[in-house]
Amino acid sequence: MARFLYSLDKKTRWSDTWPEKSDDLWVDMGPNDQGHIQEIVEHLYRAHPKVIEHLLHGENRRPSLLVEDDAVSFMLALVPTHQDEPLHHLSFIIGKHFLVTAHLDDDSPVVDQAFGYIKQNQMMDEGVDFALYQVLSGHVEALRHNVNVIDQQFERLHEMMLDHPYKDMAPLILKLRKRAMEAKYMLDPEGSIFELLKSSDFPYVRKKNHPYMQDVAYMMQEVVSEVEQIRSGLAEMVEAYTSLQSNAINLVMRFLTVISVLSLPATTIASIYGMNFKIPELKWSFGYWYALSLMLVVTLVLLYAMKKKSHRG
């Protein structure tokens, strides 16, 4: 059921039904309110159909913003810490004296915390913009926590690559890189939304509350910057991993080349003595040992020459 937190005569009140009168009103809608969204929103103002569409079917969209004459609506997304976790969306509508929050896919701990804080401290008379700040601040903190988890996974992957440079880590790197790219894909438009909210031209944030919005926008900018750093670091890790794999292949090829070169003198000598014409050494009683000794000496001389050249290089 929708819940209502409002101020009346500078006192904070709350209810499970529409208040008869209010100065500032916050309406929070959860998973059980999908069938009442249009009724609730149109009770506040005449919303554009796109606003209702975004509220009901925004789970597959990037964070977005719609500006109307009487309100501004936008949607944010919480980046998951693991790839198999669902993406949680949080929608907002803010007008001059009302705020709507909607989290239709699941309960929102961020909204619950902000709602409880405003209710417990009797702060609804600070305005709907202050209530919005409380929700946005909790949202950015949750984003920062989730991005830190991704960053820790990146650091562990980096340490693993240094400890085991020739281990097959391509699937792990590509999986984490995909998640970082998805996070950036979601957070870039959110950064633009926060920049608009902190603007002095935004009509639904009072002058005294502008510093709050500037603070939360700066926090959001740090999160976006951290995701960009992780993405860049993963791109460099891919290059380093490719280079390590190339070095491994080069070492194998170098070893095979050395073996081939060292076996060449013995092969040449054996092919000479295998020709179909008379060779005096073939009837010599020590001819076999002579041929083996010759192969060994030539191979050792060649090995010494290769090592000497390698040290000089």
Q: Summarize pLDDT for 182-194 with one digit per residue, the tens.
A: 888 889 999 999 9
Highest mean pLDDT among 50-54, 151-155, 235-239: 151-155
- State residue 81's pLDDT score: 65
Question: Could you write out the DSSP letters of every residue in 170-237?
Answer: HHHHHHHHHHHHHHHHHHHHHHHHHHHHTSTT-TTS-GGGHHHHHHHHHHHHHHHHHHHHHHHHHHHH
Mean pLDDT lowest for which of 71-75, 162-166, 262-266, 275-279? 275-279
Helix (H, G, I), strand (E, B) or coil at 7: strand
pTM: 0.78
Q: Summarize pLDDT for 269-281 with one digit per residue, the tens.
A: 777 767 666 767 6
- State residue 124's pLDDT score: 93
Neighbours of 209 (CB within 10 A): 17
Mean pLDDT of 271-292: 71
- Closest Cα partner for 94 from 158, 51, 140, 152? 51
- Pairing, β 24-29 against β 3-8: antiparallel
Q: Which amino acid is residue 23, in one-letter code?
A: D
- State residue 59's pLDDT score: 66
Residue 268 has which token pair? 């040449």
Q: Summarize pLDDT for 104-118 with one digit per residue, the tens.
A: 888 889 999 999 999
Q: Which amino acid is residue 46, in one-letter code?
A: R
Domains and CATH numbers, the chain: 3-245 (3.30.460.20), 250-312 (1.20.58)
Measured CA distances, 299 to 269, 295, 306 (Å): 11, 6, 11
